[in-house]
Structure 1
Amino acid sequence: MSTKLSVGQAVPDFTATATGDQTFTLSAERGKNLVIYFYPKDSTPGCTTEGQEFRDAISAFEAANTRILGVSRDSLRSHENFKAKQSFPFDLISDPDESVCRLFDVIKLKKLYGKEHLGIERSTFLIDADGRLAREWRGVKVKGHVEEVLAAAQSL
């Protein structure tokens, strides 16, 4: 069941396992903005760069009352290692069953070396303090992306 989220709509509540032995629940985040970015795989070049750029802008996001979360299908253990190695000041959600990915409709047919497979399309979602989808970016190119997301968060 894939419901298409649209901008301005309330994001359905969900719970997921995150780094730091946490259970993340969307409804518990009311009152602050939330950036949820989906990326294909821990410790790959593009995903590392994207995470580092979010990391380097963390104080600006915090000043804009915005929490950052990364999501991929990698295991919690892989996430903990990736987070520690890159000194990410935000948590990563492990979504091995793709329930969060499907909620945001980011599982897409991708081509790698001529073979097709289902994978995460790099995407970012900005949820406002009332739990509504404020902005979405799909098929993200890493360069310049974090600045764009920050500007949108600051405008909320």
Structure 2
Amino acid sequence: MSSQTSSLTAGQPAPVFEAQSTAGSVQMSDLQGQAVVIYFYPRDNTPGCTIEAQGFKEHWPAFQEQNCLIYGVSRDSMTAHTKFSNKLELPFALISDPDETVCNLFGVMRDKMMYGKQVRGIERSTFLIDAQGNVAKVWRGVKVPGHVEEVLQAVRDL
């Protein structure tokens, strides 16, 4: 297992991708002209991931006021995403990335220790993309409390 690091930093063009989501196909190239928050999380229906999704849901109207889209990304299946999204009544789409294509473009896959074993998984990370399609801000190793509010403030500061 090797850790892949990404040099993706603020000011660089956002990676271009196409992926399936709970709202259909998402193409990064179609999203220019508005801000986009892409947050990567380890797994549907786990405590931290549920709290994070609920935070983005709670602040959804404020993100909309800023003409900002939100996408959550994990390796879960579309079936799992649909159940998770319906259960939490999420107003934004979840992208299914089982083959880690989008995760690798953003460099969020990491080797982690879980119950004393080394496992490969998603490092909780968030990327703010500006209306021109450039990365405006990067958060890696995210701690959930207060994170959504910090992201919203960064969107307002664009």
What does the per-residue CA deviation read over 1:3-40, in whole Å, with 9 as the maximum and x for residues that have no partner?
521210111311001013x1100010010000000000
> How well do the aligned residues superpose, as a CA RMSD in angstroms?
1.1
Q: Does 1:24 align with 2:19?
A: no
The TM-score, its normalising length taken from structure 1, stands at 0.97
Gaps of 5+ in 2: none
Structure 1 runs of 4+ aligned residues shifted over 4 Å read none
Conserved 8 A contact 1:106-1:120: yes
Aligned residues between the structures: 155
The TM-score, its normalising length taken from structure 2, stands at 0.96
How far, CA to CA, are the matches of 1:93 and 1:137 in structure 2? 19
How far, CA to CA, are the matches of 2:58 and 2:14 in structure 1? 27
Give the structure 2 partner of residue 124 of structure 1: 126
Q: Which has the higher mean CA deviation after the structures are superposed, 4-13 or 93-102?
A: 4-13
Gaps of 5+ in 1: none
SS at match of 1:55: helix
What does the per-residue CA deviation read over 1:34-88, in whole Å, with 9 as the maximum and x for residues that have no partner?
0000000000000000000000000000111110000000000000000000010
How far, CA to CA, are the matches of 1:106 and 1:119 in structure 2? 8
Amino acid in the other structure paired with 1:66:
C
Give the structure 2 partner of residue 150 of structure 1: 152
Conserved 8 A contact 2:15-2:106: no
- How is 1:13-92 mapped onto 2 (pairs within 5 angstroms)? 13-20=16-23, 22-92=24-94
Q: Identity of aligned pairs, percent?
A: 54
Amino acid in the other structure paired with 1:62:
Q
Amino acid in the other structure paired with 1:16:
A
